Amino acid sequence: MRYDVLTLFPGIFAGFLGESLLDKAIQRELVQVHLHDFRKWAGNKHQSVDDRPYGGGQGMVLSAAPIVDCVEEIRGDSPVGRLILLTPQGRVWDQVAAEEMARQQDGRVVFICGRYEGFDQRVIDVLQPEEWSLGDYVLNGGEVAAMAIIESVIRLIPGVLGDSESSVDDSFSEGNRLLEGPQYTRPREYRGYRVPDVLLSGDHQAIARWRREKSLQRTQERRQDLLPKTDPPRSSGEEIGE
Ligand code: ADE
């Protein structure tokens, strides 16, 4: 995968790119991340990339030109891959979206991270990006959202995680859209809390059944929206079939 990230604060990514999972994936050439400070495309001597909103109101709005120029320059004449603008107005990112991106053939994504009160609408009108959000809350900018999306995708790319860290059993993952149940490791008893006997039984079927039950129970308690939809009960007079 190759990610290009437009940001006014490339320093935010330093720890993220230099540590653990992503660092290893970059060294093994499974992932590239290129940061672009779009202030360099400001085109004015004060290097300003924002201005007051037309119509009045609080805060500053990011101008269209520096972002559009920066995207056009890094994409060149033949734009390939996806262009994603991070905004609380976008579709909410989820595991299905991450799986789709991990399968993407060309593996190229450009992210636009905003700051301040948002973007001039002409960024969207001209570039027609996809708009994605991390969730229904407002961040100071798109950087944390870009990092979350990148991490959610690269851990699905074969070879990025070791076998022991495999992502297949994760909550929300393909084949299991439910929450994971509780996990235990040694010791068998801690502050009066004991590991459930079934996990010590060596009975693999019973363990699998217990895990499935706990996963369903937790999902039922916390996230009913994730449970498979069941058909509403039929009313008594309703015909069945033709
Ligand atoms: N920028 C500010 N808030 C955001 C959010 N919730 N998701 C993505 N980008 C953002």
Tell me, yes or no, if 120 is annotated catalytic: no
Tell me, yes or no, if 242 is annotated catalytic: no
What is the dihedral angle through the alpha carbons of 152, 158, 159, 164, rounded to the nearest 10 degrees? 70
Residue spans per domain, the chain = 2-154, 169-242
- Pick the atom of ligand 1 nearest to 135's CA: 6
CB-based burial label for 205 (10 Å; 0-12, 13-18, 19+): exposed
Please give the DSSP secondary-structure letter assigned to residue 77: T
Which of 87, 112, 115, 117 for a ligand 1 pocket mutation test, highest count of atoms within 8 Å of Cβ? 87
Report the alpha-carbon distance of residue 25 to residue 31 in Å, rounded. Answer: 6
Tell me, yes or no, if 88 is annotated catalytic: yes
Report the alpha-carbon distance of residue 17 to residue 32 in Å, rounded. Answer: 10
What are the backbone angles phi and psi of residue 37, rounded to the nearest 5°?
-85, 105
CATH fold of the domain at 169-242: Trp Operon Repressor; Chain A (1.10.1270)
The class level of CATH for 2-154 reads: alpha beta
pLDDT at 20: 73
- What three-state secondary structure class fits 189? strand
Supply the residue whose CA is at minimum distance from atom 7 of ligand 1. Answer: 133
Domains 2-154 and 169-242 share a fold: no
pLDDT digits (tens, 9 = 90+) for 167-224: 777 778 777 789 999 999 999 999 999 999 999 999 999 999 999 999 999 999 999 9
* CB distance 104 to 76 below 8 Å: no
141 ligand 1 Cβ < 6 A:
yes
139 ligand 1 Cβ < 6 A:
yes
In angstroms, the Cα distances linking 117 to 60, 64, 81, 231 are 6, 13, 27, 43
Catalytic residue among 82, 170, 180, 211: 170
- Pick the atom of ligand 1 nearest to 136's CA: 6
135 ligand 1 Cβ < 6 A:
yes
pLDDT digits (tens, 9 = 90+) for 63-122: 999 999 999 999 998 888 999 999 999 999 999 999 999 999 878 999 999 988 899 999
Residue 158 CB partners (closer than 8 Å, separation 6+): none
Within 10 angstroms of residue 94's Cβ, the number of other Cβ atoms is: 13
145 ligand 1 Cβ < 6 A:
yes
pLDDT at 106: 79
86 ligand 1 Cβ < 6 A:
yes
87 ligand 1 Cβ < 6 A:
yes
State the alpha helices, DSSP H only, in the chain.
14-18, 20-27, 64-75, 95-102, 121-127, 143-154, 204-222
Tell me, yes or no, if 233 is annotated catalytic: no
Within 10 angstroms of residue 191's Cβ, the number of other Cβ atoms is: 4
* CB distance 22 to 157 below 8 Å: no
pLDDT at 174: 76
Residues facing residue 2 across a β-bridge: 32, 108
Residues facing residue 212 across a β-bridge: none
Is the confidence at residue 19, as pLDDT, over 90?
Answer: no
